Amino acid sequence: MRHRRYAQFLWAGRELLTHPGATLLMALSMGLLTTMMATGLLLSQALTATTSRLLDQGPDLVVRRVTPNGGQPISSQAADLALKIPGITEARPRIWGTVSTPQAAVTVVAADRDAIARLTITAAIQAPVRGEAVAGSGVHLPETDAHLVLHGTDTITVRITQRFPQETDLATHDLVMLHPDDARRLLGLALDEACDLALAVFHPDEAEALLPELARVFPWPVHIATRQETRKHYATAFGRRGGLAALLYIPAVIALALLTAAVIRQHIGSRSRVGLLKALGWTSRDIVGLQITKAAIVGLPAIAGGLMLAYALVYAPSQTWAGMLLLGWQETAPIMHLDAGFAAPVFLEVAGILLIPYLAAVLWSSLVQAASNPHDLLNRGN
């Protein structure tokens, strides 16, 4: 039985060799289609997974002060108010914002000396002193100078003394870490003011339960963002981009439909061949099996190769194309070390999207022919 099956596989290979050009074209088309579809889906999946994983390291809750005139700086004493609530373990006033440089906008953040001291990454980062800064790999400087001009409510010039490692690009690519005094001056904040308050809670799952109490404890109205909310916003943003990317799939799906139609046409076109095979003692099952085997010999490696290419494109350690093409970076994009842990369902999804209609087209056309009278197939086929 095994021997017979091998022989039939071999014959399917032989039949494919009768049209090597068409076979190769078919495999390439399917491979490229797979790559196109899988790359988009994998990237969206990987960004969502990675964002979620990284955001776990960020604050559980972020409190901002709101007034009828808009957002307002928060007093540094607000942290003490927050810490009175049972369940809140840490309250950190944050000083950060978007400012511009002669080259591009950057995000600045005031260094938290204690937190930086606890950081033990490959290249240890030192908290910057006044007039110095630590910059991400995407912050550009004039070639001969290490000084960066920052325009906020005031303009300051800082010297870049260190760079964040490239492996941390997802968090630091266009980030400039300043001394808190420099950051306050740049952002127009008074000495005891901060932009907002980042909170850590004892039980992250119960963070939302603390919201009413938090809103009550501050003497002014607040807007509180939870981690869940942040995650959801990111997922929605990627989903929206994914939706736009889906427009790109339309030609791909049309191409697939044409490909499938071509397969059907190819099979119906060889009706006399099917009639001959039946006359020579091939059963309908043999013929359907042959056609499915032929389709699988072309389709499976093409889809596997396409998936592999998409996988390499999305997860390769130094990939920056996604940032350049899809996320709006102009010169240098962050190096994306994305989370490959959830790729398997995407593989199955893409394989299903492509393989099922392809095999269904083959199966349907084969069955339709296989059920006909061999005499009719021989005489009415081409």
Partner 1 sequence: MPTGKHSPANNRPGLEPTPDSPRPSEPDRLPLDRLVPAGWLLGIALTVVSLCVLTLTYDTVRGVFPPPDQAAPVLHAIGLNELALVPSGRPARRPVLTPSPIDWRYGPVLPRQAPEVIPLLKTAPFDTPRAATP
Partner 2 sequence: MPTALACRNLTYAYPNGASSATTALLRNIDAVFPGGRVVLISGKSGAGKSTLLHLLAGLLRPTSGEILADGQPVSRWLTAHRDRWRRRVGIVFQQDYLVSELTVLENVMLPLIPRSGSPRYWRESSHNILARLNAVELVGQSVSTLSGGQRQRVATARALVDAPDYILADEPTAHQDLENAQRLGHLLRQAAERGAIVVVAAHDRHVDKWLKVDQHLSLADGNLEPAP
Contact residues toward partner 2 (CB under 8 A) are 3-4, 7-8, 10-11, 14, 18-19, 272-273, 275-286, 371, 373-376, 378
Nearer to partner 1, 250 or 344 (CB): 344
Nearer to partner 2, 121 or 279 (CB): 279
Measured at the CA of 360, the angle between CA 359 and CA 366, to 5 degrees, comes to 90
HSE, CB side, 13 Å, CA atoms: give it for residue 224.
20
Q: Which does 39 bind (CB under 5 to 8 A by kind): partner 2, partner 1, none?
A: none
Supply the minimum distance, in Å, between the C-beta of residue 116 and partner 1. Answer: 5
Q: Which does 278 bind (CB under 5 to 8 A by kind): partner 1, partner 2, none?
A: partner 2
153 residue type, one letter: T
Q: Which does 297 bind (CB under 5 to 8 A by kind): partner 1, partner 2, none?
A: partner 1
Closest listed residue to residue 9, CA positions, set 304, 263, 280, 291: 291
Nearer to partner 2, 288 or 302 (CB): 288
Supply the minimum distance, in Å, between the C-beta of residue 275 and partner 2. Answer: 8
Place of tokens 């980062």: 125
Supply the minimum distance, in Å, between the C-beta of residue 32 and partner 1. Answer: 15
Q: Which does 273 bind (CB under 5 to 8 A by kind): partner 2, partner 1, none?
A: partner 2
Nearer to partner 2, 104 or 279 (CB): 279
Alpha carbons 179 and 159: distance in angstroms, whole number = 12
Tokens for 177, please give them.
Answer: 């870490």
Contact assessment for residue 221 and residue 74, using Cβ atoms and an 8 Å cutoff: no
Q: Which does 374 bind (CB under 5 to 8 A by kind): partner 1, partner 2, none?
A: partner 2
138 CB neighbour count, 10 Å cutoff? 23
| The 3-state secondary structure of 142-156, one letter per residue | CCCCCEEEEECCCEE
For 124, the 3-state DSSP assignment is coil
Supply the minimum distance, in Å, between the C-beta of residue 188 and partner 1. Answer: 6
For 205, the 3-state DSSP assignment is helix
117 CB neighbour count, 10 Å cutoff? 12
Length of the chain: 382
Supply the minimum distance, in Å, between the C-beta of residue 283 and partner 2. Answer: 4
Nearer to partner 2, 10 or 146 (CB): 10
Q: Which does 286 bind (CB under 5 to 8 A by kind): partner 1, partner 2, none?
A: partner 2
Q: Which does 51 bind (CB under 5 to 8 A by kind): partner 1, partner 2, none?
A: partner 1
Supply the minimum distance, in Å, between the C-beta of residue 297 and partner 2. Answer: 16
For 94, the 3-state DSSP assignment is strand
Q: Which does 16 bind (CB under 5 to 8 A by kind): partner 2, partner 1, none?
A: partner 1
For 93, 209, 210, 226, 368, the CA distances from 61, given in Å and listed in that order, are 12, 11, 10, 5, 62
Nearer to partner 1, 134 or 377 (CB): 134
Nearer to partner 2, 1 or 247 (CB): 1
Alpha carbons 134 and 172: distance in angstroms, whole number = 10
Nearer to partner 1, 97 or 374 (CB): 97
Supply the minimum distance, in Å, between the C-beta of residue 174 and partner 1. Answer: 5
Alpha carbons 194 and 381: distance in angstroms, whole number = 81
